Structure 1
Amino acid sequence: MANRYAFEAVSQTFQDIMDNQLPFGGKTIIVGGDFRQVLPVVKRESMRDQIAASISRSSFWNSVKILHLQQNMRSAQDIEFSQFLLRVGDGLEENVGGNFIKLPNSMIIPWESENSIQQLIDSVFPNMPDHVHDANYMVDIAIITTKNLDVDEINEILILKFPGEEKIYTSWDSVEDDNHNLFQEEFLNSLCPSGLPPHRITLKVGCPIMLLRNFAPELGLCNGTRLICRNLGRNFIDAEIITGPHKGTRYFLHRMPMKSEENS
């Protein structure tokens, strides 16, 4: 996903340091990725610009040796799904209307108004009330969607299934140096920029959460770390890490400042 200019800048830096005009100053550089999954994101530009920003258009690409991985570890237990992913990636799966791919029936929940969302939740989280304190149950399954609005809707339904009293946390809803009150609270509370949580978060003991910033990497608290709430205080969350080498460790998460990287 990285823009090729980032790689070329690193390559030029190594050339200057090593006083060597070979790519990356003659050093061996290992990168990983899959062009079949996602291209670099170039805001407000065309597909041609996205392709032009790809590492395969870099000046050093002719010096790159490509090594292909042979086994899909994420779907090793589901051969049918693994083969389906490969066909989609290779452009061999039959499409509909030129731009769409028909999913296998085994992956589809028929649309039946709002009941379909409940069927999806019950299918992914079977007997969830019986496993609210089971870390292994929570880490093995998840629902992934493309829009924050859908995430919020599903979270609201799921949180009701957890027993106990809910705890509501809200973000800071004022603007620094806004002496004339140009930004109303209602407007600020409605914003949900990429990389930031919503203004209002409802949690219960036993529900899973995910960090959105590097809080303490040396302790395993990084962007993307998944945890389970064990206790909910007024200004802190007592949470247990459920993934990685620090699995099972509990920490107190306090309020922290966060800033969106969006520039528009």
Structure 2
Amino acid sequence: MDSSPKLICPEVPCIVQVQPAKNPGSKGRIIKNAKINLGRNQFRDVILLITSQNSEVCSFTLNAVKVHKNFIHEGKATILLINESLMISNAPPRSLQLFVKTLTFKVALQAKKTPIASRCRLLATKLNLTEEISPLTSKDIAALSNKVGTETTPTRKKGQPLKQLNTQENCNRIEAIKKRRLEMNNGGMSPQSQARASLKRFLSPHQLTEEQKNVLTIVLSGKSIFFTGSAGTGKSYLLRRIVGSLPPDATFVTASTGIAACHIDGTTLHSFAGIGSGKATLEQCLELARRPTLIKQWKSVKHLIIDEVSMVDGDFFEKLEVVARKTRDTDLPFGGIQLILCGDFLQLPPVVRRGETRRYAFQTAAWENSVSKIVELKQVHRQADKEFIKILSQIRSGRCSSESAARLKSTAKQTIEKDGIIPTILCTHTDDVEHINMRSLDKLPGTPTVFKAVDSDPYLTKQLDQLTSVPSTLCLKIGSQIMLMKNLDISRGLVNGARGVIVGFEKGGIIVNFACGVKENIFRERYVVKCSNTLVTRTQLPIRLAWAFSIHKSQGMTLDCVEVTLGRAFEAGQAYVALSRAKSLNSLRVLDFSTECVRADAVVLAFYRDIFQDFY
């Protein structure tokens, strides 16, 4: 059985606007509820097919093609043909990305083949035969990458005859030269191996485990779902896949906190809802939600994604459900919106004021009436150390054996510093974080270099501090311990949470040695968030100082080296979140561990045990 990677071209639901090339100003023909696919006609030409319930099948031969894909992450692309341009919108971004990649390679492969003569085409029997396009394989990519080496001629010394090489010697010599070139350029990989690795790299981020596929299948069936799991089971990763599989125009991506929203390129649930903090009366919340822009937004929602739903207050969740029904003029639960909820109620709980009673979203009638499926992800991806996974499993449920406690305490003296990178101290209180970072920066020699964020609206700086993961002002020196706050290059380890130390400054940027062994120039990145129903941007270096970091801000992240101090732990789930940020016991140092800091909310434990029969 062939186990080499293959990319099967998906059928992509979308809106297509077909515009004549000779009249670019015209509106052209708009095909709603369309589906696009690739196929081949009787002459083996690659063709693009558009099907729709309300119109005939349209087909376009893809000979000379140019694709604009700057907004592919928004589900948009433009395909320029000789006589038409096809503007695609509201497509599931991931499906569109796979479609465009297949199209690009298949058309390039077609261009390498000898075309069928026009006369043969005219004389051929007219048959409207169409067949599906074959999957894209590493062999296809290798065919485009396999360039013929430059021919090498034997040399001779002045005054001496040219040395004659027999055919076999000549072939061997040329092959040896080709091999050396490959070793220099591709690490010794042949074009076929390089292509296979390239396709595998592209496909591997898109591979899901069986339990993750199950969740995606439920989502695509239209059912409302809550999926949970311990830290490191791939909840955020799966959520991004879900976002990429749904039409953008009707999908709203939210999270309970600004940091969590930033991780999934969404907005906060409070900002989306438009009812402020939700502390006002229901009547006042409804009044706020009835503003024209919000009514329009609520009516356009088909899929509402809420990450870290475990931190959403139950009263707010209940008001949200009423607002959804009233603004959409329907009595269906949550106004008929599909809910896609993600989080772990055994991690950080909703923040409540002193004296207030905590109420989780799952304790409400709104949850009971709206959520039809609950799934637990069990496969841990972050940690491979079975001993550590077992310890974390205990702590998640509020337990800690004497053996586990002793093992955690034994990490207090281990050295986890490496190449000038020291572990990030995870703190329970933000005032401790600020104090440690500023004190450590002051100890470094020299004057700090200041990087100020460029905000599209300076009046929204405070809101952008809450909605993005990067600060408005960064004061940095050589030797500053930093953390990367954005995925820049996953294959090289430059991911959200990667630790590093600044070793130099570049014009407009910094030079960082990362714990993963990569030395990289880091420049400003653009963050786009929704604030008060308006898109605003912040352009800043994608880093934060990382001598210390708050446990709350670290939720959802994987850290290279961590030092945990739990002496002031005050919240259920806090110890678990802090400890589970580490990849292994070897990258973790626990300074003041006590079993007293290990706590899990009894209400949450009862909820999980009720729905998951094998839960602890």
TM-score, normalised relative to structure 1: 0.51
- Shift of residue 208 of structure 1? 1.6
Q: Is residue 2:484 matched to residue 1:204?
A: no
Compared CA separation, residues 254 and 21, structure 1 to 2 (3 A): closer
Residue among 86, 107, 124 paired with 2:416: 124
Q: 2:378 aligns with which of 53, 57, 70?
A: 70
- Residues 168 and 103 of structure 1, relative CA distance in 2, 3 Å threshold: farther
Count of residue pairs brought into register by the alignment: 187
Instruction: Give the Cα separation in 1 of the matches to 2:447 and 2:343.
Output: 40
User: Identity of aligned pairs, percent?
Assistant: 20
Given candidates 390, 394, 397, the residue that maps to 1:83 is 390
Question: SS in structure 1 opposite 2:426?
Answer: coil
> Which of 1 and 2 has higher RCO (CA within 8 Å, sep 6+)?
2
Letter in 1 for 2:366: F
Q: Is 2:327 the partner of 1:20?
A: no
Q: Which residues of structure 1 form unaligned runs of 5+? A: 95-100, 111-115, 133-137, 172-194, 212-216, 256-264
Q: Tell me, yes or no, if the aligned pair for 2:506 and 2:521 is still in contact at 8 Å.
A: no
- Alignment check: 8 A CA contact 1:240 1:249 kept: yes
The letter for the 1-side match of 2:312 is A
Is 1:238 equivalent to 2:510 in the alignment?
A: yes
What SS does structure 2 have at the residue aligned with 1:104? Answer: helix
8 Å Cα contact 2:346/2:396 also seen in 1: yes
Query: Structure 1's 30 and 200: CA in aligned 2 closer, same or farther, altered over 3 A?
Result: closer
Deviation at 1:2, TM superposition (A): 1.3
Distance apart, 1:196 and its partner CA: 10
Pairing of 1:186-201 with structure 2 (within 5 A): none
In 1, distance between residues paired with 2:430 and 2:321?
37
SS at match of 1:85: helix
Computing the radius of gyration from Cα coordinates, the structure with the larger value is: 2
Q: 1:85 to 1:227 in 2, by over 3 A?
A: closer
Change (3 A) 1:40 1:148: closer
Superposed displacement of residue 102, structure 1: 8.2
Query: Which residue number in structure 2 is paired with residue 258 of structure 1?
Result: none
CA contact (8 A) 1:159 1:203 kept: no
Partner of 2:110: none
Alignment equivalent of 1:145, drawn from 423, 427, 431: 427
Distance 1:196 1:109, change over 3 A: farther
The alpha-carbon distance between structure 1 residues 56 and 38, as it changes in their structure 2 partners (threshold 3 A), is: same
TM-score normalized with structure 2 length: 0.25
Match in the other structure for 1:191:
none
Aligned counterparts of 2:523 and 2:470: Cα–Cα separation in 1:
21
RMSD: 4.8
What secondary structure sits across from 1:124 in the alignment? Answer: coil
The aligned counterpart of 1:44 is 354
- Higher helix proportion (structure 1 or 2): 2
Distance 1:90 1:18, change over 3 A: same
Per-residue deviation, 1:61 = 2.1
Report the CA distance shift for 1:103/1:88 in structure 2 as closer, same or farther (over 3 A): same
SS at 1:37 equivalent: coil
Instruction: Describe the shift of the 1:146–1:237 C-alpha distance in structure 2 as closer, same or farther (beyond 3 A).
Output: farther
Is the contact between residue 210 and residue 227 of structure 1 (CA under 8 Å) also seen in structure 2? Answer: yes
- Compute the displacement of 1:55 (Å): 0.3
Distance of 1:150 and 1:102 partners within structure 2:
30
Aligned residues of 2:510 and 2:523 also touching (Cα < 8 A) = yes
Report the CA distance shift for 1:249/1:30 in structure 2 as closer, same or farther (over 3 A).
farther
Q: What corresponds to 2:43 in structure 1?
A: none
Partners of 1:226 and 1:20 in 2: CA distance:
46
Are the structure 2 counterparts of residues 27 and 148 from structure 1 closer, same or farther at C-alpha, using a change threshold of 3 Å? closer
Distance 1:103-1:156 versus aligned 2 partners, 3 A rule: farther
2:523 is the counterpart of 1:251: yes
Q: CA 1:83–1:233 in 2, change beyond 3 Å: closer, same or farther? A: same
SS at match of 1:107: helix
Q: Could you give the per-residue CA deviations for residues 143-186 of structure 1, whole angstroms, max 9, x where no partner exists?
A: 322245654448856997x8xx5443689xxxxxxxxxxxxxxx
Q: Secondary structure at the match of 2:374?
A: coil
In the alignment, which residue of structure 2 is the partner of 1:30? Answer: 340
Q: Give the counterpart letter for 2:409 in structure 1.
A: I
Q: Is the 8 A contact 1:227 1:239 kept in 2?
A: no
- Work out the CA distance in 2 between the residues paired with 1:14 and 1:149: 38
Change (3 A) 1:5 1:241: farther
Q: In the alignment, what sits opposite 2:550?
A: none
| 3-state SS of 1:44 partner | coil
Specify whether residues 218 and 148 from structure 1 end up closer, same or farther in structure 2 by C-alpha distance, changes over 3 A only: closer
Contact 1:239–1:250 (8 Å) recurs in 2: yes
State the Cα distance separating 1:41 from its structure 2 match.
0.9
Q: 1:55 aligns with which of 352, 356, 361?
A: 361
